[in-house]
Amino acid sequence: MKLVVITPLAADLDSRSYRHAASFARMGHETVLIEGRRSSSLPGPPRFQVISAGPMREVTTRLPPPMPPAPPPPAPARERSLWHPLELVPLPIRMLPVTLRVRARRLRQSAQVLGAELRANLRLLRVLPPADLYWFMGYSPSFAVRVASRLRRTPFVYDACDSYFEVYEGVPPEEYPLNARVMEHLEAGAVRRAAAFVTACDGYQVLLRERHGREPMVLRNKHDQRLDEPADSDVRSVLGLGADEFLCVQIGHVKTGTATEETLRALLELGPGYHFAFLGQQQGSVPHLVKSLGLGDRAHLLAPVTFTRLADFLRSADASAILQRGLDRNYEYQEPLRLYHAVAARLPILYAPLPGVERVIAEHGLGVAVDPDSPDSIATGMRALADWPCNARIRANMDCAAAELSWEREETLLANLISSLGPKRTGPGRGPLTGRTRLR
């Protein structure tokens, strides 16, 4: 069977789609991964065909030495949208009342987002090959996939790895962005018409069932150690830290609601032997905070590492931090990738006790819960993890839980799902999907 996996991201940034494609290839299916942005370098040896539907992503995933944040790139030349109401009908916006001015600005922003999404979907349609099954992540590619699915009579699977629209709960109708309304409508249509519907954790399963009236299957973002490669170095060597210095790492870019300032202030309360590293592409206000608090020698910024080398790179650290506040239900119920990356690297976890994260960590005894709004609590948690008996006990728990928290178990569920959607002969003739087979 030919399977096409579609991600709006670059393949080297979307470990979930890459992991699914690798599993499909391992099962013996002809597999194609289509990325929305061209990867700077694909991880690992080629296991399946990769097609890029967009321009090159302007970041690197190779690991440089510790570095200050790069200056912002020059603004690209302004690209005109395929359709843009406020460009087609010029208005003297400055002369409008404030409320109309705000609405006009929101309409303009929504039009820009929708124009970009439309262009991305048209690029995807140009490269989307015929297949027996399409599998796509996120609502962004849904227009192109549904068009191709209808024209080629090919079923698709919708993978909602987030409950994307919880951020708009309670937003008054007049403030609800037009682009969010359109995308929510596209997701609802994808859920209705999908041959199968999957998501990333139990909490999202509940939220998406409430929103769409259809219960998704859960495929967690667990780490697949079979894709791992040796890293060129390790985090402790790159930072030049001794074995007696405590190092806690935050994996991934700094999201809105992360207790960044509280974490850095906790470092001020700890001795000079405590270090914290931010490993990721988007660091937000971290450089400014590090400089203003005078923590340049103990708070470190590192470029992202390819996910296939991440576990090996992180093993020399002492702990990992997941200090995300529950800004909305999507954040509250998530089981983030950084959780399973920490498990793969056997790093005890310093975490804010949100329901999704706590369910996994508390069940297996993988870390220490702290109050993300309290520097004192974060400092106390770091001291606890720096205590070797506590650290060793948590690492032993991770060794025991490793089999349950690895991708091999999820791959069995994935194989069963694909088998249930597999080709079915339609008598001596040939089915309409590929000229030979018809899907159930």
Predicted confidence (pLDDT) at residue 427 exceeds the cutoff of 50: no
- pLDDT tier, 85 (very low <50, low <70, confident <90, very high otherwise): very low
Contacts of 90 (CB under 8 A, 6+ apart): none
pLDDT score for 246: 96
CA dist., res. 207 & res. 213, Å (int) = 10
CA dist., res. 259 & res. 375, Å (int) = 9
pLDDT score for 103: 73
What's the whole-number mean pLDDT along residues 183-197? Answer: 95
CA dist., res. 143 & res. 185, Å (int) = 11
| Whole-Å CA distances, 209 to 167, 197, 255, 375 | 17, 11, 26, 37
Contact 191, 214 (CB under 8 A): yes
Predicted confidence (pLDDT) at residue 197 exceeds the cutoff of 50: yes
Higher-pLDDT residue of 234 and 73 is 234
pLDDT score for 147: 96
Query: What structural domains and CATH numbers belong to the chain?
Result: 2-61+119-222+409-427 (3.40.50.2000), 229-401 (3.40.50.2000)
Higher-pLDDT residue of 435 and 334 is 334
Query: What is the pLDDT of the chain when averaged over all its residues?
Result: 85
What's the whole-number mean pLDDT along residues 263-291? Answer: 88
Burial 111-142 (b: 16+ CB within 10 A, else e): bbbbbebbebbebbbeebeebbbbbbbbbbbb
Of the candidate ranges 63-67, 129-133, 322-326, 406-410, the one whose mean pLDDT is the lowest: 63-67
> CA triplet 67, 9, 302: central angle to 5 degrees?
15
pTM: 0.84
Predicted confidence (pLDDT) at residue 200 exceeds the cutoff of 50: yes
Predicted confidence (pLDDT) at residue 333 exceeds the cutoff of 80: yes
Of the candidate ranges 27-31, 170-174, 364-368, 375-379, the one whose mean pLDDT is the lowest: 170-174
Of the candidate ranges 40-44, 47-51, 274-278, 290-294, the one whose mean pLDDT is the lowest: 40-44
Tokens 């993300």 locate to: 372
pLDDT tens figures, 88-131: 444 455 555 666 666 777 888 888 889 999 999 999 999 999 99
Higher-pLDDT residue of 144 and 76 is 144
pLDDT tens figures, 158-182: 999 999 998 888 888 777 888 899 9
Percent of the chain with pLDDT over 90: 66
Predicted confidence (pLDDT) at residue 414 exceeds the cutoff of 80: yes
Contact 311, 228 (CB under 8 A): yes
Percent of the chain with pLDDT over 70: 85
Tell me which amino acid residue 381 is: G
Of the candidate ranges 239-253, 279-293, 318-332, 403-417, the one whose mean pLDDT is the lowest: 279-293
What's the whole-number mean pLDDT along residues 206-212? Answer: 95
CA dist., res. 157 & res. 193, Å (int) = 9
Can you state the angle between helices 178-193 and 142-152, rounded to 10 degrees? 40
Higher-pLDDT residue of 10 and 78 is 10
pLDDT score for 95: 57
pLDDT tens figures, 23-66: 999 999 999 999 998 888 777 777 899 998 877 544 332 333 34
What's the whole-number mean pLDDT along residues 74-100? Answer: 50
What's the whole-number mean pLDDT along residues 257-279? Answer: 93
pLDDT score for 238: 95
**Exposed/middle/buried for residue 418 (C-beta within 10 Å: 0-12, 13-18, 19+):** buried
Predicted confidence (pLDDT) at residue 432 exceeds the cutoff of 60: no
pLDDT score for 93: 53
Contact 124, 146 (CB under 8 A): no
- pLDDT tier, 280 (very low <50, low <70, confident <90, very high otherwise): confident
Higher-pLDDT residue of 301 and 283 is 301
CA dist., res. 364 & res. 394, Å (int) = 9
Contact 158, 136 (CB under 8 A): yes
- pLDDT tier, 254 (very low <50, low <70, confident <90, very high otherwise): confident
pLDDT score for 72: 53
Structure tokens at 416: 């069963």
- pLDDT tier, 236 (very low <50, low <70, confident <90, very high otherwise): very high
pLDDT score for 74: 54
Greatest extent of the chain over all pairs of C-alpha atoms, in Å? 76
